[in-house]
Amino acid sequence: MFFWGTATAAYQIEGATAEDGRGPSVWDTFVREPGRVKDGHTGDVACDHYHRWREDVALMAGLGVNAYRFSIAWPRVLPQGAGEVNERGLDFYDRLVDALLEAGISPVPTLFHWDLPQALEERGGWLNRDVAALFADYAATVAARLADRVPMWITLNEPFVHMAYGYAMGLHAPGRLLLTGALPAAHHQLLAHGLAAGALRAAGAGQVALTNNCTPVWPASQDEADLRAADAYDILHNRLFNDPVLLGRYPDLSAYVPEPDFVRDGDLETIAAPLDALGVNYYNPTRIAAPADGGVLPFEDAGITGHPTTAFGWPVVPDGLRELLTALRARYGAALPPILITENGCSQEDVPAPDGTVEDEARVAFLDGHLAAMRRAMAEGVDVRGYFVWSLLDNFEWAEGYHQRFGLVHVDFATQRRTPKRSYHWYKAFLAGRNTGRNTGQNTDT
């Protein structure tokens, strides 16, 4: 079955951060530090999905998706990150999974979407190698409850972004500014992925995937220096996270670290455990130039002009998705498992009209263009097995707070009123025109 879905993440939609025994996460701490998040917004309430999940499942059923990618909050299941299990946290996801299945929607949970239990941050967070093994314990705990009903598991969401924003640049929780000192956080996340994949399979899980954020890297010019910088960026953003998983080795990291002494014997075998799918999140290409003199990093973001942009300022380049997918296939060949596009979407300043409708035509064009690009990649031989729109709902967009709206459904955060936008109706019509296999389990068209 081709997964046609929408995606969300726990901290961005659930709210209820202190309810039913949930422990604090690094994001609960981070949002309280002055200046970290625009306008001091927090995920305390977010979309109140923890209480309104039935309504949200009904919205998805109305949309006609056959899959839903959500994330499970580690601190709901293990408030201290390890040790005592909070059954009420598991109960929430148990009920959600049942409701999805009843609606003909396959649950595709991600086990870590950046909300590390604060208790583990106090032990060093992802800089501490032990956290990898604790993640596998957590994965086993969740699988013991849900594996009988979950067809596809995703271990981690975007370890690159978590490392870069959370540990290198201090823009996301836990707010560390370590620059290249953040690299151990990449390795320990990858190790966590490998250990969790094993734990999930041992617990009888179906398919297992990892979601990486990938970007086509465009050199700013054909000058030797720009080409070298683009290659260095490609290594950091893409290959650091794909090579070990798919090839069992790291790319040349010498531009960043003289000796990756955090890698121990056997780690790469663990990390390279076979995958059933690679999750790919695509938003835009990145144009890279050589750094100005004295730059700490071996590259500089040169920016992309000449394309429309989203409210975030991200360039809209639909064919970048085809370029990315075909490049992955060219690079990894037979080592590339089937691909799931686990996130794709755009932010816009969506304002409801007086009659209550939200006419987000640019989002419709964005999705239409990217779906066409995905089909072109498939026609060129890339094995894509799913597409998830980011996001079902407008939600808490990390350091941007509620300022960036990505939803197919508009959320009025003062009243929690949900209003399907034009793009929701468009995606619904798109799905209605295909055999999505919903409720039937049959093969589907793309």
Q: Residues with Cβ < 8 Å from 404, sequence gap 6 or more?
A: 311, 312, 347, 397
Which tokens in the block code for residue 281? Answer: 């999140």
What type of residue is 2?
F
Cβ closest to ligand FCB, residue 347 vs residue 436: 347
Residue 233 or 398: the one with the smaller Cβ distance to ligand FCB is 398
Distance CA 79, CA 94 (A): 17
Residue keyed to tokens 């055999």: 435
Taking 3-state DSSP, the helix, strand and coil percentages for the chain, each rounded to the nearest 5, stand at 40, 15, 40
Distance CA 193, CA 196 (A): 5
CB of 402: closest distance to ligand FCB in angstroms? 12
ω into residue 391 within 30 of 0, thus cis? yes
Nearer to ligand FCB by C-beta: 104 or 285?
A: 285
C-alpha angle 214/147/443, rounded to 5°?
65
Cβ at position 200, least distance to ligand FCB in Å: 20
Task: Give the nearer residue to ligand FCB in terms of CB position, either 14 or 397.
Answer: 397
Shortest separation between residue 166's beta carbon and ligand FCB, angstroms: 12
Report, in Å, the least distance between residue 279 CB and ligand FCB.
Answer: 10
Q: Tell me if residue 19 is catalytic.
A: no
Catalytic residue from among 14, 121, 158, 323: 158
Nearest to ligand FCB of 71, 207 (CB atom): 71
Whole-number minimum distance, CB 395 to ligand FCB, in Å?
A: 8
- Cα–Cα distance, 324 to 279 (Å, whole number): 13
Whole-Å CA distances, 295 to 179, 183, 341: 12, 18, 34
d(CA 138, CA 152): 17
User: Judged by CB, which is closer to ligand FCB: 76, or 162?
Assistant: 162
Q: Which residues bind ligand FCB (CB under 6 A)?
A: 9, 12, 157-158, 161, 213, 281, 343, 390, 397-398, 406
Is 87 annotated as catalytic? Answer: no
Q: Min. distance of Cβ 303 from ligand FCB in angstroms?
A: 19
Q: How many helices (H) and strands (E) does the chain have?
A: 15, 13
CB of 389 to ligand FCB, least distance (A): 11
The residue (of 38 and 149) whose beta carbon lies closer to ligand FCB is 38
Classify 411 in phi/psi space as left (phi over 0), alpha (psi -120 to 50) or beta: beta
Give me the catalytic one of 14, 121, 323, 343. Answer: 343
CA distance 438 to 441: 6
Q: How long a stretch of residues is the chain?
A: 446
- Answer for the pair 163, 186: CB distance below 8 angstroms, yes or no: yes
Q: What are phi and psi of 395, to 5 degrees?
A: -155, -175
- Active-site positions read 158, 343
